[in-house]
Structure 1
Amino acid sequence: MNLTPQSPFSSKASQLLSWGHWFTFANIGLVLLISSSYLFADKAPSSALGGFYMLITWLSHTSFITFCAFVLTVFPLSLVFPYPRHIRGMAALLATFGISVLSLDAFIYFQLGYHLNLQSGPEIISLLWSKFSGSPIIACILVISFVVIVLVFELLAGNRAWRHLAELKSYKFPKYASAILVSCFAASHSIHIWADANAYFDITKQDNVLPLSYPTTAKTLLARHDLLDIKQYEQAHDISLAQTQNLFTLSKPVPSCDVPNDKSVSIVVFEHVNALDVFVNQQQLTPIRQLLQPTNHSDALFNLVYGLPAFYKNTVLEHSTPAWSSLQPLLNVVGFDRFHNIENDSAPINIISGNALESDKKIEGTIIAFSLAPQSSDAIHTGMLYSKGFDVSETLIFKQLQDITYTLVASHLNCTELASHTMLGRDLKHVSSVEGVNYTQGVLVAFKKDRITLVSQDGSYKNLSGTEGFTIEQKLDIPFLINSIKVLKKFSPEQNPH
């Protein structure tokens, strides 16, 4: 093969290489536009430095990935097969495919909280099927239109760059743009090294936001040069709860609340699904998906009665009456021996065992029903919740038992301040947060959208898809877990010093 400077082959390859850089620049702009959706999928950084890091990481990382895609696909084709018309067509098809995959990944991340991977295939297919089955014609039109628009953009960008190649070569701004992107790339990794070493979680919590993102960490870089205090680093990143004292303390006195007299609620708890099904048919209850509860029945009932994770169980049970029902009796528990002293027939919220339910007695007001999880070696179980007169936000994936109690006090009884001061849950009617935390049998349970992370006391962990149950191969999200622990320890002495 003749590759001398005078050969036509070499000239075409050189022109295609120059064209490829401009084609890549055009795609960097498109990729930046699409990848900006990742920045809105999670909570925005709370600090100016975190926001600056997010911006420069987005600019540099997406540009770098786009450039790598060009180097690995279009560049080799230009050398092996230097025919401009064919290369432009193949490059447009490859770019359209890449942009389509990126868009799908952005959609999946926005909906489920994790990126495309083989393990999450069933959940992704289920999500896409639910979107398509709702309005199949509209969905197909939107998808096909998007792909066609991207393909047209790629063809126009490729042809325009080729026809005006001589003119484009005279422009100087690519040099400045390249310098800015390289500077952003270096700055983002340097800032991440500092943030990781100093446990600055407003930055490190962004590690999993962008696809194919593996920022340089302080541990890998500084430890290599013996510049890292391992003990201090591990202490800052410790997610163990084994040594914490799970005492329950309130930072402020329990606020009072005027409760309406016509707000009766009955929560019926069954031990077996068969009995629940009969009750649901009798009362004509509406199903609510994805009730997340501990498989340990004692922990589950504690969540429901006290509105707290079982992290506080040993201490709180000594006080017997839930803090939110201490000033005025708001709770009546029937049919559970361990809560026999929490009885008040006039209380607006009634938790009733299915075994103690009187078949001939009609239940008035709002009804909520569910069955306890079947015995299992797993720490948690997802099942169904049924209700009448109890609606929840459609944006939420998982609902916990403590969320039910919190919602009833905050929204149903209009005692928001009382709920927030005494319980650890979410208002299922008004909250938009897709994150939650629990603790059962020594296992920390933290979820974000569809991803559930389970961390045992020995430090072992696994990420699961809550709706499908398969394992998600994803590294441990330390900043998210540390924030979850802070939420869990809201009522611990270190959070509420006297």
Structure 2
Amino acid sequence: MILAESPRRQRVTKLVNWGHWFALANIIIAIVIASIFVFSSPMPGTGVGTIYLLANWFGHIGFMTFFGFVIFILPLCYLVSNSRIIKASASVIAAVGLALLAFDALLFNRTGFHISFHAADLLRSEAQSQITIENWQQWGFLFLLFVVWLGFQLVLANAIYKRVERFTRYKIGVPVTTFFVACFVTSHAVHVWADAKLYQPIIKQDNMFPLSYPATAKTTMSRYGLLDLAAYEERKQLQFNPEFHSTTYPAQPVYCSVDTSENLTVIVQTDDAEIDNLNTKLDLNRFDNYYSTASNLKGLMTTALFGVPEIYQDALSEKRPVLLALPLGSGMPVSVYSDVSLPMSQLSGYVKKDASESDGLNIAFIKGEDIAQYTARALEREHKVIVATGYGSATGKGTLFSNFSLDADIASTEDLAPTILNALGCNAPITFYSTGQNLLSPARPWLVSTSGERIVVIHDNKRTDVLSNGSYEITEISTGKRSNDALNVDLLSQAIKHLSRFSTQN
């Protein structure tokens, strides 16, 4: 008696075989797309780190894609009898899944975080800013691109289905499965060792791929070279990695025109003394959600003039601020005045003993008791004025006074340089020379800075201070009390990537 498979069983067997080949094809495509994650991150720099990178890349992406096949497509092969419906459904699922992977990769390349519930607010702000940039034709092009991508998946599904009997002759199932399982197991085994040894070239890859090992404050910071993990292994107090101080400033050459007929005075307070209400006394606009996080006078001047946090102050000791060099090169008078000794030698060519009557761009670092008088003289000469206070205060919170109409939710000292240059007519990309933003046309509702050895992230009325050993503290700004909210790792990742913009490690 000859036993033969029933027609239904033959159909199911063919669909299951087809599904495995379809999954393999999409695993290869997903691995190619995931290369964006790899090339958006710093290279490990060691042999073991590179082996882990490759094993994690192939193992995790292969597992993630095959898991999607098992969850969404394989059940259809047993439950649905119509092969066309299965192929169409699988094509839609694959097209959407790989499109999401590509979107996540591009988002990671741009911001440093992945699609997640924790990143919903950040994702929403990115989407809103992108929507304002893109017009309907560009959105139509993206939709057309997805239709083409879906069409490719349909063609791929049909081509594999027609040739599935031929493909099954190639006995590659065991070698391919063994390869991906070996990569997956190897990556996890190596990571266990690296985590025990605090091996930085591997630990810093923890947040590279989506739905992978969850990042923490420690691993996020190490990813951008802000941790010396060898010292942590010896249980010493960690310091920021000194290699971080190797910088490229500006990141790219800054070219723009400056209106040399403008007159602008910027005053930065150098103590924590109370000052008069300049908004009522001198009829200036008042902006209260302003923060000055520098821990010393040199850091304050670095932050104000360069538009970057004080962590860069040693690396920039021989460089000239774009804020001063660009207007001066355009023929605008530029002067710097301070009532204390300037700790930055590269400013000697700009310093004036009495700059209160200077036109052009005038930047003054003075004590609170002198601010009202200095500001009044600038207004008498019909200058645009920005006054920044708050240095030395316990919370770092100060106030901005200006006759500009500042349009921002939050501001820091890093924002002064890009705001000034934009007010003078310079339209060069701010990211070339600053980590701040233009307060006349802000782009984000959060800020990141440093205070001594702390990274400071402020967002949604919360201040997160992250120490160099990865520990952190979240404080409610309005009450000053400690918050029990979970750390927003996605925001921290984006903030540190933004902070590290001028580090040569990136």
Q: Which residue of 1 aligns with 2:93?
A: 94
Q: Which residue of 2 aligns with 1:444?
A: 455
Greater relative contact order, per chain length (Cα 8 Å cut-off, separation 6+): 2
Q: CA deviation at 1:35?
A: 1.6
Q: CA deviation at 1:62?
A: 0.7
Q: Which residue of 1 aligns with 2:489?
A: 474
Equivalent residue runs for 1:232-251 within 5 Å: 235-236=232-233
Q: CA deviation at 1:295?
A: 4.9
Distance, in Å, in 1 between the alignment partners of 2:433 and 2:15 is 49
Q: Which residue of 1 aligns with 2:190?
A: 191
Give the unaligned 5+ runs of structure 2.
217-228, 246-259, 270-274, 304-308, 314-339, 399-408, 438-446, 477-484
Q: Which residue of 2 aligns with 1:399?
A: 435
TM-score, L = length of structure 1: 0.61
Give the unaligned 5+ runs of structure 1.
218-231, 251-261, 281-291, 313-319, 335-341, 402-434, 465-469, 489-498
Q: Which residue of 2 aligns with 1:155?
A: 154
TM-score, L = length of structure 2: 0.60
Q: Which residue of 1 aligns with 2:472?
A: 460
SS of aligned partner of 1:444: strand
Equivalent residue runs for 1:315-334 within 5 Å: 321-325=341-345, 328=348, 331=351
Q: Which residue of 1 aligns with 2:104?
A: 105
Give the direction of change, closer, same or farther, for the CA distance of 1:235–1:476 in structure 2 (3 Å limit).
farther
Q: Which amino acid aligns with 1:350?
A: I
Contact 2:36–2:105, Cα closer than 8 Å, also in 1: yes
Contact 2:292–2:397, Cα closer than 8 Å, also in 1: yes
Q: CA deviation at 1:276?
A: 13
Q: Which amino acid aligns with 2:18?
A: W
Q: Which residue of 2 aligns with 1:303?
A: 299
Q: CA deviation at 1:27?
A: 0.8
Q: Which residue of 1 aligns with 2:25?
A: 26
Contact 2:113–2:491, Cα closer than 8 Å, also in 1: no
Q: Which residue of 2 aligns with 1:178?
A: 177
Give the direction of change, closer, same or farther, for the CA distance of 1:304–1:235 in structure 2 (3 Å limit).
closer
Q: Which amino acid aligns with 2:363?
A: N
Contact 1:445–1:454, Cα closer than 8 Å, also in 2: yes
Q: Which amino acid aligns with 2:183?
A: C
Residues 296-322 of structure 1 show CA distances to partners (whole Å, capped at 9, x for unaligned) of 6x748663225574999xxxxxxx744
Q: CA deviation at 1:266?
A: 5.2
SS of aligned partner of 2:364: strand
Residues 245-264 of structure 1 show CA distances to partners (whole Å, capped at 9, x for unaligned) of 9xxxx9xxxxxxxxxxx9x9
Q: Which residue of 2 aligns with 1:49?
A: 48
Identical aligned pairs, as a percentage?
22
Give the direction of change, closer, same or farther, for the CA distance of 1:182–1:119 in structure 2 (3 Å limit).
closer
Give the direction of change, closer, same or farther, for the CA distance of 1:83–1:191 in structure 2 (3 Å limit).
same
SS of aligned partner of 1:119: coil
Equivalent residue runs for 1:236-275 within 5 Å: 236=233, 267-269=266-268
Q: Which amino acid aligns with 2:435?
A: K
Residues 69-112 of structure 1 show CA distances to partners (whole Å, capped at 9, x for unaligned) of 00111112222224312111111111122122212222222222
Give the direction of change, closer, same or farther, for the CA distance of 1:436–1:134 in structure 2 (3 Å limit).
closer
Distance, in Å, in 2 between the alignment partners of 1:18 and 1:462 is 52
User: Cα RMSD between the aligned structures?
Assistant: 5.3
Distance, in Å, in 2 between the alignment partners of 1:151 and 1:455 is 44
